[in-house]
Each structure stands twice: as structure tokens, then as C-alpha cells.
Amino acid sequence: MMQLAKALEGSTNTNFIWVVRPPLGFDITGEFRGEEWRPEGFTERVVETQSRGLVVPQWTPQLEILSHESVGAFLTQCGGNSVLAGIAQLRSASDWVAADGRAVFHCQALGGGEKVMKRDSVKGMEMRKRAGEVKEVITYAVRSDDELKGSSVKGMDDFLDAALLMKEKTELGSKSCIPHFPSPQLKMAQRKENTPAIVMFPFMAQGHIIPFLALSLQIEQRGFDIIFVNTPLNIKKLRQSIPPSSAIRLREIPYDSSGHPGLPSAIENTDVLPPHLIFPFIESSLSLKPAFRNLLSDLVCGGAPPLAVVADMFFGWSAEIAREFGVFHAIFSSAGGFGIGCYCSLWLNMPHRKTNSPEFFLPDFQEAGLIHLTQLAPSISAADGSDTDTKSVFMRKNILEWSDSDGVLFNSVEELDKIGLDYFRRITGRNVWPVGPIFLTGDNRKSSRISPEKCTEWLDTKPTNSVLFVSFGSNNTISASQMMELGRALERATNTHFIWVVRPPLGFDITAEFKAEEWLPEGFMQRVVEAQNRGLVVVQWAPQVEILLHESVGAFLTHCGWNSVLESLSRGVPLIGWPMAAEQFFNAKFLEEEVGVCVEVARGVGFEVRCEDLVEKIEMVMGESEKGKEMRRKAGEVKKMIEDAVRDDGDFKGSSVVAIDEFLNAAFWTGDSSSLKRFHVPNDSIALIDQYMDESMNKQVLFHFETLFETNQAAHEHRKDFDISFFELD
């Protein structure tokens, strides 16, 4: 490094940009100490006084630098990427071989090498000439227009064709009948846009964005491009959650909370919103409509129309925009069918306004059973259903717009949630695809105040099923009096260990410092957490998935948000319900009355909670009571049900796997998905007919085979009805 610096200073006709790191034997990610590793005064003389160079620690924008006309050569380690980047921008290179038998460059040697930079050097001119020739070769290789397809473009096409053909051959068998025309997947892969893209558009809240991101990663693994749309602040946060292996494209659309009375300025998500501002924030999302339309217009008019739009349950208005541009549209609900079904039915019918009884049935969802007034979220209780009530108008219109979509995706499981899913099939008249449970791995979720390793280390010291996990989700807290009673209950339930995620109580900034001495029983931390080591108190957020996976966790005291419910039941962990808002009250009702894996202890932040009642419920679920044993048994059954739903092997495809396949198949339609048909052919084989009205294919019909035809004759018998050609694979 010292010799290289001397050479750069001695080559007085050469300016330079030098990317530096600590030399061999030092931590290369550490601070670069120029005064030790370069000639004395180098920076002052060459960089500052003469302005002949830039010295940049760690990393620079290499492509942008090599693209600039002032760059005449590239001193490089000759890595393949760097070589191609240099030649593609017409740069000659000075070799620096960093491997066994490496060449050591002394100051004098580099002085000779500096002739490469001289315009009148014969060697330098010859190198620049050859670099220009190679640049032209590379330019032609990646060219793709009406006149020419370069060798690299053809190579990529050949690879994709071969891969997709082999996939179809593997799936259909060596003697199976396959379409003479390429499948939609193959057809899409041959387009200039490369991969079919799906636009994902969640509401601006963590409980919505996380399931959308998890679904995006699943769809991406199936070979689709993902365009993830949200407001600038949320996109910035998302960049930290997307794994390095993912190619998800993030697109921003503008949102300005200052245009909505009552909302704080510079707010783009629900992270720090108090409960009474959540609904105004939901209503304000209508202002995203013009920007989303412009984004979709840019994609379509730019020659790369997306295959589908998957929009949030609060963005029913997006269906009209997708239809305007001829793009397939689906709603994605991160909530379960039963809970959100009750919630939607209340908004559509307002039955509590038509009775004096504290209990009532939902007129279009009577199978949900009796609903109690205490299960109504404050926003519904305050609404009157009139045309002047903005909340009622927004929610009714939004729910009815689901029917304008081509279908509805749910983060749920058919076998678990059939009552609720069937409700939406009935009221929307559309396909409903339960594709859950959908989770993010721990690596892709938000950071915690406590590491998964520390949680696991603590849990390893506790007996099986002895730990109660207490968390109220990412945006909720309880009142100060409720927090005090819960603290007393956890201390009195002496046979129960716990991990408790805490935030400042209602009325305080939930992102502020947690003051245990004010909001927990006096001496609680010293007695229960420190002296007895019975609990962990974690501020703001804990690694929930990792905690619920541990065998020492016996139950989960939760707000019954659907993401948390699925994370718990996927591990066979029963629930103690304390619902807070929206459909969570009906999730708790469903899990207790229909599934038998939950017991409810409180409702919302206004509920009067007593320590004695909490202790009774905690000990019942965590102990050896018959009720507790039955809840654990049923939770185990649901765990197996969920495992089967997402199972995908050679002998079996679970209901959630089939549902996502059906959604993607439906998205490949160019027309109205309601014309999707199934029919039976001999040998009980089923074919899914995709009527691809594509002029380039002479309006012929494509077959997607869901099961193998035992003979080609089974399909040929139906050729009298459809114009289809077949061939056999050897």
C-alpha cells in the first residue's frame, strides 16, 4: 500500500480515485488510518493541495465511475465482474493478481505501468483500441431489438425455454400429453419483459405490510417478479427487511398526512398513531388513488403490464383501476375469514342499531352465532350507518368493492376457517383463496431489544410448557390500571414463568421509555425478574416466532391479531385472548367457541381487569386442569391441520398450496376470470381450460393439466369441442 501510494504520487500526469481498506493483517472493516499506511503528508500534498485524487474508504459506485469519459484505465484485482464492468465502459486495465503467486508491484514497476495512461504510448494506444473492440463485442451480445438478438440474449432465452420445458416434462411424465402451444409461464418467459410481474400494495401498517412481504417472497420463489408499492417512509423501512437473495422491486407513491385534518404531520404508518386516529388514517388512504393509477399507467404504457395487482383489504378502490388497464386484481386479507367476516357484516348491516338487546345475530352471517355489544370496536359502536357518517360510507363502499375484484386471498387455512371463507364466497360471488399461514422468518422481521439467542438461552432453563408469552401486537398497549393488575397476576401465578412485551400504557407515547417503577407493582422487577428469575420483561418488541417455537412456551396471552394467532397455532400453542380492536374480538370468539384453543380474559382497554380473574385463567390454561389439557390437545390438532395445508410433496398438495396455484393460474387469464371452467375427462383426469384469446395463437385454447392423463386418448376425445394440437415427449 505504501509503494502504491508513492507510485500514484510519482505519476504526476495521472489523476486517480483510490478505494482503500486497512491492509492485510488488520480488520478490513475497521477505520482506515492514512497516517500509518500511506507516505507522510500524502493526503495533504496529493489529495488536498494538488486535487489530483480521491481516497475513498471501503466502497465507491464503480459502474458510475467507469462510465465517465475522464476515466482512462482501471487498476483491478481482475475479478470477473470488475473486468466486464471496465471493458463494457471502454477502459483498459492494469493487472493486480491477488492470488497465490501474486505479483508484487514496486514503485518503479508501476512507473513503467503508468505508460498505459499516456496518450502517445504505443502500448497504451493498442490497449485502448482492443478495449474498444471488446466493448463493441459486448454491446452486440446484449443487444435486443427488431433487427438483432445478441448471443447473450439468445443464451438467456435458450436457458429459460429449456428449464420450462424440462419442468413441464418432469411434471407431466415422459408419455404425457402436453399443449402444442407453450404454457402461459413459457409464453411470459419469452416476452421482452422477462418475468411476469405482480404488484403488491398493502395498507400502511406493520400487521398488513409483513404478511404482504411474506406472500411476495413466496410468489417470488415460484418464478415471478414482485413490484412492492408503498409510501416513501415504509419503503425505506422495507429495504432492511428484504433478504439479499430477493429481487423484489420497491416503488414509492406519495402520501401527505398534512392534507388530512387531525392526523399528525409526516405520518405514513400506524406505528405511533393513537387508537382514535387509526380510522381517520385508513380513510386518508383514498388519497393514494391518483398516484397508484399513475404507477399502473406507467407500467402498462411502458410496455411491461403486470400480470396482477394484489391490493390490501382496505384498498377496494384499486380494483376499478386494475380493471381500467385490463390487469387481473385480487384483494389480500391478512385477517382470518371468520373475524373479518363478522367485522364486515357489522359495517354492512349495522344490526346493533336495530335492537335494544346487548346480543344479536348478524343477518347475513348467522352461522357466526350471537354477537355481544362489548365485542364491537369503538369505531363501529360510534357509527350510525347513515349516508352522513363518513366511517360507515367508507367501509360499506370498500367492502362492496371487493366484488369488483377477480378474487380474494386470505392468510388463512381452508380446514380451519371454512365458515368465514364461505361467507365471503357467498357475499362477493368471487373466488376465495386461503393461502396461509404466511410468515416472515426471524431474519426478515423488525429488530428487537432482546436477541433471539438471549431469549432461547433463557427459555432453555425453563421446564416444558411452563412459560407464558404475553404480547399485545405491534401497535397496542393496555391502560395503566390494567398493566398494574396484569403485573400482580403474573407475580401471583407462581408456577408460571413468563416473557412480557411491554410499552408505556394508554395515554402515553408508546414509543417512549418504559418506566417500570411507575407502571408495574412496586419492586416487581427486583422480586420477580431479578431475584426469582421467573420472567423476562422486554420493551417494545420481542422475537415472537422464535419464542413460540420453544418447547418451554405453554400458552400465549395475546390481542388475537390474526398474524399472532397463526404463529401460535402453527406451533401448537393455545391462547389466552385479550382482544383490542377491529376484528380481534371475533377472532377470540371463533377460537374459543368454534375451535376450542382459546379462553378470553378481557376485552379492550376499557375492560375492568382484576388480578384474581387473570390468575384463575392463567393457571387453568398453564396447569393440569381438564380445560387446559383439552386446549393443548386441540391446539396440537390445529398444528397438524396447518402443517397439512402447506405440505407440498410428490404424493400430496395441501389446500393452501392448491389455493395459491389456483390464484396464479387465474391471474394468467387475459379475460374475465369468472369464465374459468373445470371439466372431467376419462380416467378421472381433470383439465383446467384457459381460454387464451390471443390473436397470435389463433384464439386456440391452452390446457393446464392438474393431474396426469393416463393416455393421450383421454384428451383427444375432447378435440371435437376445442381446436387443440398435441405432441408427445420422448
Q: Are residues 420 and 355 in the same domain?
A: yes
**Boundary-marking domain end, from 434, 461, 483:** 434
Q: What are the two backbone dihedrals, phi and then psi, of residue 198, each rounded to the nearest 5 degrees?
A: -120, 125
Q: Are residues 382 and 460 in the same domain?
A: no
Among candidate residues 185, 190, 188, 250, the one with its CA nearest the CA of residue 216: 250
Q: Residue 705: enclosing H or E segment and its boundaries?
A: strand 702-705
How much is the mean pLDDT over the chain? 82
Within 283-429, strands assigned E span: 308-312, 328-333, 359-360, 371-372, 407-410
How sure is the predictor about 459, in pLDDT bands with cuts at 50, 70 and 90? very high
| pLDDT at residue 248 greater than cutoff 90 | yes
For residue 544 the three cell numbers come to 415472537
How sure is the predictor about 95, in pLDDT bands with cuts at 50, 70 and 90? very low
Q: Residue 359: enclosing H or E segment and its boundaries?
A: strand 359-360
Residue 215 is assigned to a structural domain of this protein: yes
DSSP state of 248: P
| pLDDT at residue 584 greater than cutoff 80 | yes
Question: At which residue does the C-alpha cell 384499486 appear?
Answer: 318
Q: What are the two backbone dihedrals, phi and then psi, of residue 41, each rounded to the nearest 5 degrees?
A: 80, 5
Mean pLDDT over 564-589 rounds to 97
DSSP state of 411: S
Q: Are residues 260 and 401 in the same domain?
A: yes
Mean pLDDT over 353-357 rounds to 95
The residues facing 715 across adjacent strands are none
Amino acid at 453: E
Q: Are residues 519 and 605 in the same domain?
A: yes
Q: Are residues 344 and 407 in the same domain?
A: yes
The residues facing 354 across adjacent strands are none
The residues facing 467 across adjacent strands are 497, 553
Q: Are residues 233 and 343 in the same domain?
A: yes
DSSP state of 149: B
Domain span holding position 303: 197-434
Residue 399 is assigned to a structural domain of this protein: yes
Q: What digits encode the pLDDT tens for the residues 99-136?
A: 333 333 334 434 444 444 455 567 777 777 777 777 77
**Boundary-marking domain end, from 623, 640, 665:** 623
Neighbours of 302 (CB within 10 A): 9
Q: What digits encode the pLDDT tens for the residues 51-71?
A: 999 898 887 888 788 888 888
Q: Are residues 380 and 254 in the same domain?
A: yes
Q: What digits encode the pLDDT tens for the residues 408-430?
A: 999 999 999 999 999 999 999 99
Q: What is the pLDDT of residue 390?
A: 92
**CA 523, CA 526: separation in Å to the nearest integer?**
5
Residue 61 is assigned to a structural domain of this protein: no
Q: What are the two backbone dihedrals, phi and then psi, of residue 548, each rounded to the nearest 5 degrees?
A: -65, -20
Q: Are residues 256 and 225 in the same domain?
A: yes
Q: What digits encode the pLDDT tens for the residues 603-619?
A: 999 899 999 999 999 99
CB-CB contact of 186 with 165 (8 Å): yes
Among 39-43, 164-168, 439-443, 656-660, the range of highest mean pLDDT: 656-660
Q: Are residues 324 and 399 in the same domain?
A: yes
| pLDDT at residue 724 greater than cutoff 60 | no
Q: What digits encode the pLDDT tens for the residues 203-239?
A: 999 989 999 999 999 999 999 999 999 999 999 999 9
Q: What is the pLDDT of residue 143?
A: 76
**Boundary-marking domain end, from 560, 591, 623:** 623
Q: What is the pLDDT of residue 83?
A: 62
Q: Residue 478 CA to chain centroid, in angstroms?
A: 28
For residue 478 the three cell numbers come to 393496555
Q: Are residues 508 and 389 in the same domain?
A: no
How sure is the predictor about 37, in pLDDT bands with cuts at 50, 70 and 90? confident
Domains identified in the chain, total number: 2
Residue 31 is assigned to a structural domain of this protein: no
How sure is the predictor about 30, in pLDDT bands with cuts at 50, 70 and 90? confident
Residue 711 is assigned to a structural domain of this protein: no
CA distances from 63 to 524, 527, 642 (A): 58, 60, 47
Neighbours of 134 (CB within 10 A): 15
| pLDDT at residue 697 greater than cutoff 60 | no
**CA 409, CA 332: separation in Å to the nearest integer?**
5
In sequence order, what are the residues at sequence separation of 6 or more whose Cβ sits closer than 8 angstroms to the Cβ of residue 586? 338, 339, 340, 341, 342, 343, 368, 371, 375
Q: How is 48-114 classified by DSSP, letter by letter?
A: IIS--EEEEES---HHHHHHSTT--EEEE---HHHHHHHHHTT-EEEE---STTPPPPPHHHHHHHG
Residue 260 is assigned to a structural domain of this protein: yes
- SS3 state of residue 217: helix
CB-CB contact of 352 with 376 (8 Å): yes
CB-CB contact of 349 with 362 (8 Å): yes
Q: What torsion, rounded to 10 degrees, do the Cα atoms 21, 26, 32, 33 define? A: -140
Q: What is the pLDDT of residue 710?
A: 35
Q: What digits encode the pLDDT tens for the residues 363-381?
A: 999 999 999 999 999 999 9
Residue 576 is assigned to a structural domain of this protein: yes
Q: Are residues 245 and 292 in the same domain?
A: yes
Q: Are residues 536 and 419 in the same domain?
A: no
**CA 278, CA 420: separation in Å to the nearest integer?**
25
How sure is the predictor about 150, in pLDDT bands with cuts at 50, 70 and 90? confident
What is the CATH classification number for the domain harbouring 292?
3.40.50.2000
Q: Which residue has the higher pLDDT, 452 or 128?
A: 452
Residue 541 is assigned to a structural domain of this protein: yes
For residue 235 the three cell numbers come to 419503503
Question: At which residue does the C-alpha cell 425478574 appear?
Answer: 529
